[in-house]
Structure formats: C-alpha cells, structure tokens
Amino acid sequence: MNATQSSQKAASRLQATFSRIAPRAALVPYLTAGEPSIKACPKLMHALVGAGADIIELGVPFSDPMADGPVIQRASQRAIERGVGLRQVFDMVKVFRQDDATTPVVLMGYANSVERLGQQQFIQLARQAGIDGLLVVDYPPEEISDFAQSLSEAGIAPIFLLAPTSSTARIKQVAQVARGYVYYVSLKGVTGAATLNVSDVKNKLQAIRQYVDIPVGVGFGIRDEQGAKQIAQFADAVVIGSKLIETLETAYQKACSEGATNSAADQAAIDAASDWLSRIRAALN
C-alpha cells in the first residue's frame, strides 16, 4: 500500500464508522497512552473495542495538561514516568493496527508535543502508525490553518473543540477547518467535572449544527450510564474518559495491593475498564 492509499484508508475510517452506526451515537472512550502499561496499552485498546467502543481517543501524555482534571493528570504523570512520548504513542498504535485495521484512533493532546517533534514529522509518523484524527487542545483554529490543511491532505482529520462559551463567529471558524467530527466540551471546567446540564448541551448543539455539517461529539462530565444515554439522544458521539481511567486506576492499585504481578495487575485493570465500558454500551443500545 502506498502513502496515498494509506492516507485515503485512514481518512475513510471515521466517516465509515459514523455512517455504519447511524443513527445511534458513537461511543468514544478516552484513555491515556501507556495505561495501564506500555506493553498492555494496545491490549486495553482491543478490549475497549470488544466492549463496544466505536472510536478510540488516545491521550498523549503531557506534563501540564490544562484541560484535564486530576484523574487524567495522574494518568499522564504515570505515563511520563514510564517514558511515554509521541514516538511511543505511535508505536502503541502500530501494535494495535496489527490486529485492527478498522477502528478509528484519534490522538488528543497539547501543542508542545507536536511542536517539539515538528508538524511535518508528526504527520509522517502519524500516517505511518494509522492515526485517523488529531485534537490539540491549545491549537486555536485561526493559527493553524496550514497545519490543518496538511493533516487533511494526509488523511488525518483535524478535530477542534467548541465550548459553552463559543461564539457564533468561533463556531463558523471551526466549521471551516474541522474534519472528522467536532468535540463539544459540555461544561465550563476540566475533564471529570461532575455537573452536566443536559438541556444546555442540547440547546448548544442545535446552535452548533446551524453551521457545522460534520458529526458533533460531546465529552467532559459524562460519568455513568444515565449521563451517556441522555447525551446520546442528540449527540453524534459520546466521549467518556475520566471515569474510565479512574476505574482502571482503582482496579490496578487493588490488584497490586493484593500482591499481583505487574502483568496480572495490567489484566485486572483491563478487565475492569472493559466491563465498565460494556455497561455504557448496553445503556446506549
């Protein structure tokens, strides 16, 4: 397969997934790359797909994750201590792709990671790994139009955030450059916050869809079956991360406290996370 064919295949995975599952909402679990360990992370990704994930959102560990709450901050710190950077993230996705050529994988992270590697080098390595989308929290759309265009040409969807405070002008701006889907932050705050006003989310999505003609996913603040089911009634995707990572973290620590080996603790964490996600999937179904 040449580079053009590879990029076309990557570009089609997100679109094909949303088309295949419509009209139901996609289930998009977020996990920090390197959890529960570098070796076990691809296995966790497969387990989440088996539990009902439609798209995997893989967080790139970063030392100052401004949009993330304490649960994901801890996960990032653990991954950094294991030596996980962007190149290691690409390697994990390559391992995942050996057995899964269809599930979209979207990277979520911060500009420092991409800039340190270099935008063009990032695109080359991401395409080779089988990445389908990139969401960089602190890349404002008005400043990276060239990079967004380069990503699109490589078959990698540039994904952008919108928030409760986003103006009509900002929504229009994001609509011009976003591909794959738009990620709506459901609340004013960091990941894992507990308050979620479903009515406010529904009204904002109606406003966004006046200008955005690609799927709109909702994340931040979704922690259980009820919240996921409510959001799925009007969102194209439900993104859920902090509670999943918290479940994984708790199971891993419990296994370690009971004297489990590292590999056994990894498996306990994977089992707990996939069991929890399967309940979310059942609720959405």
Residues marked as catalytic: 57, 68
Q: Tell me how far apart the terminal alpha carbons of the chain are, to the nearest angstrom.
A: 36
Counting every residue written for the chain, the total comes to: 285
Which distant-in-sequence residues (6+ apart) come within 8 Å of 207 by Cβ?
168, 171
Query: How far apart (Å, rounded) are the C-alpha atoms in residues 271 and 247?
Result: 10
For helices 262-284 and 225-232, what crossing angle results, to 10°?
Answer: 50
**Tokens representing 147?**
């990079």
Which distant-in-sequence residues (6+ apart) come within 8 Å of 264 by Cβ?
255
**Tokens representing 36?**
């529960």
Residue with tokens 């800039």: 115
